[in-house]
Structure 1
Amino acid sequence: MTRQIFQLKVSLPDVTPAVWRRVLVPGGYTLDRLHRVIQHAMGWQDYHLHSFDIDGLQYGEPDPDGELALRDELDVRLDMVAAKGSRFLYTYDFGDWWEHEVVVEDVFGPEPDERYPICVDGEWACPPEDVGGAFGYTEFLAALADPGHPEHEPMRGWIGRPFHAAAFEPDRVTTLLRRFC
């Protein structure tokens, strides 16, 4: 079987400005491994539960208590459930409900001397963990942008570090992907 590379565009459709990443991953990756790619590419910290919704089927880490009916993501490879033109959802953090749209933009053979996965493009920083979903992120950005906003100082204190919404470095993400995925 020929090894195929999937070009995926992962985006947060409910966030403005648009946060998205374009990654190249082997089609033989399990959905568990794709989860790790999305986590590192987007900038999440993997603190929360997640699931994939592909053609109406839910995949994720099986719930030992049986409360979430998820198919085991370790048993499913990307190339088994997606092809060029496919679209599916990846949801992270069931409280904040970060819904990612994943589009398979292309499928092609690997470059002979290239290592995968790779982040080739993207825009804007990932929202911080536990910011309150898309609405909370909008409020967070508004507070940070306006020193006169009543939540400006509390939000700066909460984030505890400089936050640059427009910052994104694909090469840095590729380094993380190769180290941890």
Structure 2
Amino acid sequence: MVRELSSPQRQIFQLKVSLSDVTPLVWRRVLVPGGYTLDRLHRVLQHVMGWQDCHLHSFEIDGLQYGEPDPDGELTVRDELDTRLDAVVGKGSRFRYTYDFGDWWEHDITVEDAFGADPGERYPICVTGARACPPEDVGGPFGYRTFLVALADPGHPDHEPMREWIGRPFDAEAFVADRATTLARRLC
């Protein structure tokens, strides 16, 4: 008798991603395969948060740095292309993702759950979240607070320069999880 071996079920991690030092909190809850490399997780985070992937980034997990290797060898960073998420974190793990070393956007990430993939589902999925991501190059958390104050007050001396700089309407409360999921699936 020949027995068919079933393939192991893919593990899905439920991640809570929160942007540090921004009030009110900007956050997302995403479902990603544990087999994703950290490079692929970076791309998912870019799309679900609303960033444009214009800057450097790194992950800090258990005191180790992961990212794109420095061609000059000046920074000790483990290669994110060679590192699977499920090899470095598990349920209950906490780690940090930093994007844009100038503005220094720190994201606190918690692995809230780990479970088998639904065979009828496509991943990644942005389940929920709150608030729009700050615009690129706004100046980090302090610059973002200044930006929001200026936009909210037509009498503020920086109101018009900030409106011109952003070049589009900006609603800090706006976030649509389905749109984030579509972007992450299409571009990751």
Question: How many Å apart are 1:13 and its aligned residue?
Answer: 2.0
Map of 1:36 onto structure 2: 43
Question: How many Å apart are 1:33 and its aligned residue?
Answer: 0.2
- The superposition leaves residues 124-161 of structure 1 with CA deviations (integer Å, 9 ceiling, x where unpaired) of 00000000000000000000001011100000000011
Q: How many equivalent pairs are there? A: 181
Map of 1:174 onto structure 2: 181
Task: Say whether the 8 Å CA contact 2:97–2:106 is kept in structure 1.
Answer: yes
How many Å separate the matches in 1 of 2:130 and 2:39?
24
Secondary structure of 2:163's aligned partner:
helix
**Please, what TM-score do these two structures have when normalized by structure 1?**
0.99
Within 5 A, what are the aligned runs for 1:135-154?
Answer: 135-154=142-161
**Please, what TM-score do these two structures have when normalized by structure 2?**
0.95
- The superposition leaves residues 7-62 of structure 1 with CA deviations (integer Å, 9 ceiling, x where unpaired) of 00111121011000000000000000000000001000000000000000000000
RMSD between aligned alpha carbons? 0.7
How many Å separate the matches in 1 of 2:98 and 2:145?
19
Within 5 A, what are the aligned runs for 1:94-113?
Answer: 94-113=101-120
Q: Which has the larger radius of gyration?
A: 2
Within 5 A, what are the aligned runs for 1:15-164?
Answer: 15-164=22-171
| Deviating 4+ runs (over 6 angstroms) | none
Q: Flag structure 2 segments of 5+ consecutive residues without an equivalent.
A: 1-7
- The superposition leaves residues 96-127 of structure 1 with CA deviations (integer Å, 9 ceiling, x where unpaired) of 00000010000001112100000000000000
How many Å separate the matches in 1 of 2:82 and 2:49?
24
Task: Say whether the 8 Å CA contact 2:19–2:107 is kept in structure 1.
Answer: yes
Letter in 1 for 2:73: G
Letter in 1 for 2:23: T
Task: Say whether the 8 Å CA contact 2:20–2:105 is kept in structure 1.
Answer: no
Q: Flag structure 1 segments of 5+ consecutive residues without an equivalent.
A: none
Map of 1:165 onto structure 2: 172
